[in-house]
Amino acid sequence: MATTTTNTTQSGTQQPATPTYPNQVTGMYVLAQMLKKLGVTDMYGLVGIPVTDFSYICQAEGIRFVGFRHEQQAGMAAATHGYLTKTPGILLTVSSLGFLNGLTATINATVNCYPMIQISGSSDREPIDLDQGTYEGLDQLNVAKGLVKAAYRVNKPEDIPTAVIRAYRAAVSGRPGGVYLDVPTPCLGAVVDREQAMSWLETPVDPAPAMIPSAESVDRALKLLSAAKRPAIVLGKGAQYAQIDDKIKKLVETLGVPFLPMSMAKGLIPDNHPQSAIAARSTILEEADVVMLVGARLNWLLSRGHGKWNPDGQFIQLEIEPTEIDCNRHIAAPVIGDLESSVDALLAKLPDYKMSMDPAWMEKIQSITKVKNAEFAQRLVPQTVPMTHWSALSAVKKVYDANPDLILVNEGANTLDDTRDTLDIMQPRHRIDCATWAIMGMGMGSAIGAAVATGGRVLAVEGDSAFGFSGMDFSTICRFKLPVTVVIFNNGGIYNGIGVNANGDSDPAPTTLDIHARYDKLGDAFGAKTYYVTTPAELEQALTEAVALKGPALIDVQLAADSGKESGHIGYLNPESLRHFTV
């Protein structure tokens, strides 16, 4: 057991004593040492009572602390770090509302299957449990439970290693996700013998063990796939996360079937690969007779397997979580295991099977792709001024094609959709967007997480509304001198800037922001290189220069107010008399 020292205050309450270094340390020191032992090199957060000292201790121990303006963005950075590295991104928050702000990102990490650990300080347990009105007295553990993959509280310093290891295992094993670790103030401040504390530290063995699929399931999948006349593969972001790029590419090319990457799976195999069916998505959905899901789920992003999907089509699903199977459509051939083990098993057995795909199927996909790509390219030809999303993206595309190493962070409404369709991603894990929940407000956090985790250059293409959720953390990009270029498409509104107040008074419409806003001035405030552009040629020149800087840059792109369409409008729910006010 730990030897702890306390002092009695005038009010009679027990408070931790001041440690006498180097022979005594606090629970905070133990927590920092445990994170360091697990290989944690970076931490994201926002400090205050009761975790400020902990952040300094982490810095002293060589853990980089990236301090933010808002906990949600720190959490988005931690989640992105986890996605790109397959190790838990670490978020540090204060108690109460700081915890809640960060929890938004931890929940989002859970939904998106990113490994992440949110560590929050919390108030003394006794007055919280008796609801006695203590300082920031929120029962954080019970708030988090049910919303994240796992949640734990550690009350004693000697239990900190166990708590951290359990959180780490929960975050990375099976289907990855967000984990909450609650550390009350008495545990953080407890004074213990240093030598004894160091003896508590352990390293987990095999925290993310392989899960081998059954031989029967592999044979069943290959039998079904080999008999298909119009097979297809759908790649999801789980395939990116697995970091088995060469094996997945070998599987796709050996099978010779068309593949359709989901948004964040773009680049796992280059978007211009001859088997790519990005431009023939509707055909895949409507006509494929057997579809193999690789790191993808049949959620709303794939119409839950209904809608345009071939009603007679059958599914193979490579999945680590058994309860995901049959959640929307019957899965004829589930392969339960971690993705690398499943792909290895398929490749090993593949020589025993002969594909029956109709050659005309691939020819059809490639023919449609050629026609659709040519038609799409015409959208980028008009060099409209004031710019539309398309004329602006014509400039962005030229620069991105010349710099395929840029990690693209992308969010917005039209800005998200149109950028996804315009930019070809040529390298794995080089596109990060709002993913499964399609939430706004991940831009600056994800850009920072990507830059810190990889050391690479990042390009964030943001709608003006989306940027507003996280814009103040552009200051974090500048403070840490990160190689991030932020491009803001300003059309003056949510969807566009031409909404009309249905009441006829002077207040702006619900979707109206400010077409005259000068976001470049925000960059000026924090010392970034900034640009304000009004033509495609100016944007191309500015972006070329900005990404070459390998430092903070912000480009304010002035669009026309009528560029973009309202994607959130549900016409049949709106009164007939108001429909003419929407665009």
**Residues of the chain above pLDDT 70, percent:** 94
One-letter amino acid at 559 equals L
Provide the pLDDT for residue 485.
98
pLDDT band at 99 (very low <50, low <70, confident <90, very high): very high
Q: Are strands 14-16 and 6-8 parallel, antiparallel or unpaired?
A: antiparallel
Find the angle CA(476)-CA(422)-CA(233) to the nearest 5 degrees. 100
Q: Are strands 407-411 and 458-463 parallel, antiparallel or unpaired?
A: parallel
Give the other-Cβ count within 10 Å of 521's Cβ.
Answer: 12
Domain regions of the chain by residue span: 6-200, 215-369, 380-581
**418 contact partners, CB below 8 Å, separation of at least 6:** 389, 390, 393
Q: pLDDT digit string (tens) for 389-440?
A: 999 999 999 999 999 999 999 999 999 999 999 999 999 999 999 999 888 9
Q: Alpha helices of 201-241 — where are they, by DSSP H?
A: 215-227, 237-241
Provide the pLDDT for residue 166.
98
Half-sphere exposure of 550 (CA within 13 A, CB side): 4
Element holding 42 (H helix, E strand) = strand 42-45
Token code pair at residue 575: 């009164």
pLDDT band at 568 (very low <50, low <70, confident <90, very high): low
pLDDT band at 15 (very low <50, low <70, confident <90, very high): low
Half-sphere exposure of 233 (CA within 13 A, CB side): 29
Tell whether the model's pLDDT for residue 551 goes beyond 80.
Answer: yes
231: preceding bond cis by omega (within 30 degrees): no
Collapsing DSSP to helix, strand or coil, 569 comes out as coil
Provide the pLDDT for residue 135.
81
Task: Please give the DSSP secondary-structure letter assigned to residue 507.
Answer: S
- Pick the more confident residue, 233 or 308: 233
Q: 215-369 and 380-581: same fold?
A: yes
Name the phi and psi angles at 192, rounded to 5: -135, 160
Q: What top-level class would CATH report for the domain 380-581?
A: alpha beta
Q: pLDDT digit string (tens) for 108-127?
A: 999 999 999 999 999 888 87
Domain range 215-369, CATH architecture = 3-Layer(aba) Sandwich (3.40)
What string of DSSP letters covers 394-460? HHHHHHHHH-TTSEEEEESSHHHHHHHHHPPP-STT-EEESGGGT-S--HHHHHHHHHHHH---EEE
Give how far the C-alpha of residue 533 lies from the chain's centroid of Cα atoms, to the nearest Å: 29
Tell whether the model's pLDDT for residue 576 goes beyond 50.
Answer: no
One-letter amino acid at 340 equals E
Poorest-pLDDT segment among 46-60, 120-134, 451-465, 564-578: 564-578
Collapsing DSSP to helix, strand or coil, 8 comes out as strand
Collapsing DSSP to helix, strand or coil, 352 comes out as helix
Interior/surface letters 543-575, b for 16+ CB within 10 angstroms, e for the rest: beebbeeebbbbbbbbbbbbbbebeeeeeeeee
Taking the C-alpha atoms of residue 491 and residue 497, their distance in angstroms, rounded to an integer, is 6
Token code pair at residue 400: 């991105």
pTM: 0.94
pLDDT band at 129 (very low <50, low <70, confident <90, very high): confident
Q: pLDDT digit string (tens) for 136-161?
A: 888 999 999 999 999 999 999 999 99
**Residues of the chain above pLDDT 90, percent:** 86
First to last CA, the chain: 67
Give how far the C-alpha of residue 396 lies from the chain's centroid of Cα atoms, to the nearest Å: 22
What string of DSSP letters covers 301-344? GGGGG-TTS-TT-EEEEEES-GGGTTSSS--SEEEES-HHHHHH
Provide the pLDDT for residue 574.
46
Q: CATH assignment of 6-200? A: 3.40.50.970
Q: pLDDT digit string (tens) for 30-53?
A: 999 999 999 999 999 999 999 999
